[in-house]
Structure 1
Amino acid sequence: MIHDIQPTIDRYPATLRILHWVRAVLTIGLIAAGWTMAELNDAVTAKYDFLYPWHKCFGVLVFLIVLAQLAIRAISRLPGPAPLPAHERILSHAVHITMYGLLLIVPLMGYAMSSSYAESDGVFFFGIHVPELLPKDNERFELFRFLHKALAYSLLALIMLHVAGALKHRFLDTNRRTDVLPRML
């Protein structure tokens, strides 16, 4: 009897590992830049001349990286689930799905915010103007700004939970097989 069994792999493909870490650094940088922009006085010219344009540019980049990651995941052989207790496996899966969703939705809310703001210069992606598809409407802008901020904070909370989970499995679990960090290194 012949069985079609794929050998298990213990690490994610190199492309996904690289994109994961690049996206992680960019996302943390974007959240830090967002905090900085929110705290800066409007009279500080760097806020609008430097921070906002680069925040938008790298936000588009994160959005594109996530789309690439999802496409690569769809066609790649991935490690099987880590041998975690059922409740941790369910939580991990929910956190990952929600993070991917937010990594797409937060940039879209930022785009909607910029696109609908009456005084916006638009969104540029490394010199390429991204067309504004929404009508200028400052009331909608306020809604998109609220959603962008609230969802970015939600994403930050999930990132912290994700990192805490990886560190817990690495340093606190007695079963070495639950250490998921080497799969992404």
Structure 2
Amino acid sequence: MNTQASEYKGDKYPLPLRLLHWVRAVLIIAQLWTGWTMVRLNDALPAKFDWYYPTHKQFGILTLLVVLVQLAIRSRKTLPASPAGLATWEKKCSKAAHYLLYGLAIVVPLMGYSMSSTYTQSDGVPFFLIHLPELLPKNDNWFSVFQWLHRTLAYTLLVLVVLHVLGALKHRYLDADPRNDVLRRML
């Protein structure tokens, strides 16, 4: 093991959080792609309603559950401090971005669930082998509100994901201080 690797070993996130981080990343990116794709498909295409919508709903609920498990684990683990080489503004932006990423990873699926629950022509929310109850009354006016929120917040999440990735790459490849390489903490 090289000296630099052993020097930074203690500031890695716990393994369960690292694994869940990457699972959540894949789920969110897949959800964003699936959602963007399905709304652009022609309604006459059977796959739109037979595959895309049910898959998007199921994996939206799965994403929500992964985030909740991740937050439960985070609350019980000691997390590494921000790298000492980061400027104060970078630490504050990072903290705010993480709060927003977690918050949106919860709120976006909840808005999708609410959309599906309130839409009068929805057949509910499948979750793999079970069918989840619809918790809200059918109301197409409320559906329109939840649809707008779901879409707007999903695009906001996409922007944050891009900024998160760009920030990690900036710290890895452009920062002079190797302690700023936050990506290695998640690998």
TM-score, normalised by the number of residues in structure 2: 0.94
Partners of 2:64 and 2:90 lie apart in 1 by 28
Q: Quote the sequence identity (%).
A: 57
Deviation at 1:131, TM superposition (A): 0.7
State the match for 1:45 in structure 2: 46
Please state if 1:128 is matched with 2:130: yes
Tell me the amino acid that sits aligned with residue 63 of structure 1.
L
State the match for 1:86 in structure 2: 88
Tell me the amino acid that sits aligned with residue 23 of structure 1.
R
Partners of 2:66 and 2:186 lie apart in 1 by 16
Unaligned runs of 5+ in 2: 1-8
Deviation at 1:28, TM superposition (A): 0.3
Tell me the amino acid that sits aligned with residue 59 of structure 2.
F
1:179 to 156, 178, 181: 181
Deviation at 1:22, TM superposition (A): 0.7
- Equivalence map 1:16-31=2 (5 Å): 16-31=17-32
1:63-119 alpha-carbon deviations (Å, 9 max, x no partner):
000000000000012111122100110000000001100000000000000000001
Partners of 1:67 and 1:26 lie apart in 2 by 14
The alignment partner of 2:10 has SS state of coil
1:127-185 alpha-carbon deviations (Å, 9 max, x no partner):
21111010000011011001000000000000000000000000000011100011000
Deviation at 1:9, TM superposition (A): 2.6
State the match for 1:140 in structure 2: 142
The alignment partner of 1:82 has SS state of coil
Q: Which runs of 4+ in 1 moved over 4 A?
A: none
Conserved? CA contact 1:9–1:78, under 8 Å: no
The alignment partner of 1:9 has SS state of helix
State the match for 2:35 in structure 1: 34
Partners of 1:99 and 1:77 lie apart in 2 by 20
Unaligned runs of 5+ in 1: 1-7
Partners of 1:130 and 1:13 lie apart in 2 by 32
